[in-house]
Amino acid sequence: MALRIEPRREVTWAARLLAPIAAVLLTLVFGGALFWTLGFDPLATLYAFFIGPVTGLYGLTELLVKAVPLIIIAAGLSVGFRANIWNIGAEGQLTMGAIAAAGVGLFAPQGLHGLLLPLMFLAALLAGMAWAGIAAFLRARFGTNEILVTLMLTYIAGLLLSWLVRGPWRDPMGFNFPQTALMPPAGTLSPLDPRFRVTASVWFALLVLGLLWLFVSRSFAGYRLAVGGAAPRAARYVGFSEKGAIWTGLLVGGAAAGVAGFYEVAGPLGQLSAVISPGYGFTAIIVAFVGRLHPAGILLGGLFLALTYVGGEAVQVSFGIPAHITRVFQGLLLFFLLASEFFTSWRITRSGA
């Protein structure tokens, strides 16, 4: 009596909605079991991981500090993902955006005042787009695989950053440590409230989500991308441009990642150092898929993934659980998400039944 995998004839909306929720619940259950086997009280540790960090206003704002770059990048990436354009190099585009923003912040003539931040923003946006644009050009012109190109460009961006902070951009007053000088005050985003670190990037993230919603569910351009992603031959049949989809998908993702780099440099970082991101560009890919490429889902996914970071720190602080627990939770979540995804579209039956 063998087991067989069959496609489900119908995939209900309820199932689509329940799948990520089930994945989160299973992650909690297995995570709790993991804590228990490590000798901790599973409920207390789960509480410390997932609830504790967000019980206060400060905790909530810190969650936003972590979630905002994830959300901005994931929203941008989801545009390309809908068209089967696989930009997995957002980390590099973020790095280039951060470099461009810092370059403007450090070297623009003084006295720009209110103009400096917009200039840094613009520079970061263009740098992110340009970095992704390389992959778009190569794919549209030569059919190069954008997965490989964007990924390899990430390493190049990382090395460029490394060279800059150790060489020409190293802070002359920084005792030779590989970091730049701090951004000037005019190039630093003030927190929305002096008690917290959260900046205007939150409003920008909401704006991006709103635009994404408009793009996805109302715009004809978004529809064309979706057709190109779901059925390339149908897109060709009605004359939707494939090159247009490649350029749009990559440039939008690159722009979003670049801007996220700006918000890091002008916000919590305040300078460039050899490492500027805990892998936001890669985690954002998970966020995009946890959120099913939908703005509301990306909002929730971004908050949840941010919580795994903050919660990981929290259990380290309060229980001494190693920091790598964050990665374990992210891995568990991804695993269960793929599994529940699978079971919404397929089912396992006994053959001969």
Partner 1 sequence: MNFSRRRLLQGSAAFAGALALPRLAAAQDVLKIGQVNASPAAEIGWSKQHALGIEAIKAALGDKVQVTVVDNTFLPQDAERVFRDLASQGHRLIFGTSFSLGQPMQKVAPQFPDVAWEHCSGIVHLDNLGTFEAKYYEGMYIAGIAAGHMTKTGKLGFVGGFPIPDIVGPGNAFLLGARTVNPDITCSVVFLNSWFDPGKEKEAAQALMAQGADVILGMTDTGVCVQAAQEAGVYAVGYASDLTSFGPDSQLTSVVLDWSSEYVGAAQKVLDGSWTSESRWDGLAEGVVTLAPFNAAIPEDVRAKLDAAVEGVKSGEIQPYAGEIKDNQGNVVVAAGEVLPGDAVRGINWLAEGMIGTLG
Partner 2 sequence: MATAIDEGMTPRLELRDISKAYPGVVANDAITLSVAPGEIHAILGENGAGKSTLMKIIYGATSPDRGEIRYDGRVLGHHSPAQARALGIEMVYQHFSLFETATVAENIALCLPGRMDLPALSARIAETAARYGLSVEPGRLVADLSMGERQQVEILRCLMRDPRLLILDEPTSVLAPQAVEQLFTVLRRIAAGGCSIIYISHKLDEVRALCQRATVLRGGRVTGSTDPRTASAHDLAVMMIGSDLPVTDHPPASLTPAPLLSVQGLSGRPFGAQGRALDGIALDLFGGEIVGIAGVSGNGQSELAACLSGEAAAPAGRMALLGQDMTGLRADQRRRRGLAYVPEERLGRGAVPGHTLTQNTLLTGYTAGLVRHGLARYAQARARAAAIISRFSVKAEGPQALASSLSGGNLQKFILGRELALDPKVLIVAQPTWGVDVGAAAFIRQRIIDQSRRGAAVLVFSEELEELIEICDRIHVLSEGRLSPSIPRGEATKSRLGSYMTGVGRMH
Task: Give the footprint of partner 2 on this chain (CB under 8 A).
Answer: 9-10, 218-221, 223, 226-227, 230-231, 233-234, 236-241, 352
Instruction: Look at residue 184 and give the partner it binds from partner 1, partner 2, none, a contact being a CB closer than 5 to 8 Å depending on partner kind.
Output: none
Going from the C-alpha of 322 to that of each of 32, 172, 325, the distances in angstroms are 15, 36, 6
> How far apart are CB 238 and partner 2 at their closest, in Å?
6
Contact residue for partner 1 among 31, 128, 270, 281 (CB under 8 A) = 270
Which parts of 27-66 interact with partner 1 (CB under 8 A)? 44-45, 47-48, 51-53, 55-59, 62, 65
Which parts of 315-344 interact with partner 1 (CB under 8 A)? 316-318, 320, 322-324
Which residues, 6+ apart, have CB-to-CB distance to 12 below 8 Å?
A: none
> How far apart are CB 240 and partner 2 at their closest, in Å?
7
Number of residues that bind partner 1 (CB under 8 A): 49
Give the separation between CA 59 and CA 139, rounded to whole angstroms: 43
> How far apart are CB 36 and partner 1 at their closest, in Å?
15
- Judged by CB, which is closer to partner 1: 59, or 244? 59
Instruction: Look at residue 42 and give the partner it binds from partner 2, partner 1, none, a contact being a CB closer than 5 to 8 Å depending on partner kind.
Output: none
Class of residue 174 by CB neighbours under 10 A (exposed 0-12, middle 13-18, buried 19+): middle
Give the separation between CA 22 and CA 341, rounded to whole angstroms: 10
Residue by residue, DSSP assigns 177-202 as -SB-PPPPGGGSPPPSSTTS---THH
Instruction: Look at residue 93 and give the partner it binds from partner 2, partner 1, none, a contact being a CB closer than 5 to 8 Å depending on partner kind.
Output: none
Site string for partner 1, 3-22 (x = CB under 8 A): --------------------
- Judged by CB, which is closer to partner 1: 31, or 222? 31
Give the separation between CA 49 and CA 40, rounded to whole angstroms: 12
Give the separation between CA 157 and CA 97, rounded to whole angstroms: 10
- Judged by CB, which is closer to partner 2: 106, or 226? 226
Give the separation between CA 146 and CA 124, rounded to whole angstroms: 21
Contact residue for partner 1 among 8, 16, 141, 195 (CB under 8 A) = 195
Residue among 64, 3, 341 nearest 199 (CA): 64
Give the separation between CA 224 and CA 234, rounded to whole angstroms: 10
> How far apart are CB 336 and partner 2 at their closest, in Å?
23
Token code pair at residue 346:
């397929």
Going from the C-alpha of 103 to that of each of 14, 118, 198, 283, the distances in angstroms are 48, 13, 23, 26
Instruction: Look at residue 226 and give the partner it binds from partner 2, partner 1, none, a contact being a CB closer than 5 to 8 Å depending on partner kind.
Output: partner 2
Instruction: Look at residue 230 and give the partner it binds from partner 2, partner 1, none, a contact being a CB closer than 5 to 8 Å depending on partner kind.
Output: partner 2
CB 299 within 8 A of CB 71: yes
DSSP symbol at 273: B
Bridge partners of 346, per DSSP, are 7
Give the separation between CA 255 and CA 121, rounded to whole angstroms: 10
Instruction: Look at residue 271 and give the partner it binds from partner 2, partner 1, none, a contact being a CB closer than 5 to 8 Å depending on partner kind.
Output: partner 1
Summarize as ranges the residues that interact with partner 1 (CB under 8 A).
44-45, 47-48, 51-53, 55-59, 62, 65, 162, 166-167, 170, 175-179, 182, 194-195, 197, 264, 268-271, 273-278, 309-310, 313-314, 316-318, 320, 322-324
